[in-house]
Amino acid sequence: MRCPIEAGNEAETMVALAGGRLTPAQREALELHMAECAACRRLADAQNLVWSALEAWTVPAVSTDFDGRLFARIAAEKRRPWWKGPVEWFSWKPALPVAAACAALLGVFLLHEPVWHDSAPAAPSTMAQPADAQKVDVDQVERTLDDMDMLNQLDAPPPAGS
């Protein structure tokens, strides 16, 4: 027989041996192998020790009011408020201050008017230049005045007759 430890199925083989689920031929082959293999012999002894401890263990008796207490607990779980939820370890109490802080930060970011910086360099100061060095684009001034006139017409109240 091939060594169960080398084959990698030592757990199944030893449990089957201790539980009496091996055929007589398999059991005899394993016992012949264990006579030569000390590791398998130690493993079988440990497994037999576990099985004997399990056989010696006595199950404690169930109390007479077990069913009543179980059904009362199930009923209490059904009456539990919805906000406590199915998970007991989760609580809304620590989450509320965090949510309030996030809402306050969001409000600050939404209400704060950002300062936009143009990528173009700032225009040179008119005070630093002599009067004859200033160049005025007449077309730009004319377009700006037309735009201002159009905006003033939009803000004008409607005529009283309409």
Please give the residue that has the higher pLDDT: either 30 or 94: 30
Give the pLDDT confidence of 131-156 residue by residue, as tens digits.
555 677 888 888 888 888 887 777 66
**Residue 128 pLDDT greater than 60, yes or no:** no
What is the 3-class SS of the chain, one letter each residue?
CCCHHHHCCHHHHHHHHHHCCCCHHHHHHHHHHHHHCHHHHHHHHHHHHHHHHHHHCCCCCCCCCHHHHHHHHHHHHHCCCHHHCCCCCCCCCCHHHHHHHHHHHHHHHHHCCCCCCCCCCCCCCCCCCCHHHCCCCHHHHHHHHHHHHHHHHHHCCCCCCC
**Residue 57 pLDDT greater than 60, yes or no:** yes
**Residue 23 pLDDT greater than 80, yes or no:** yes
pTM of the full structure:
0.38
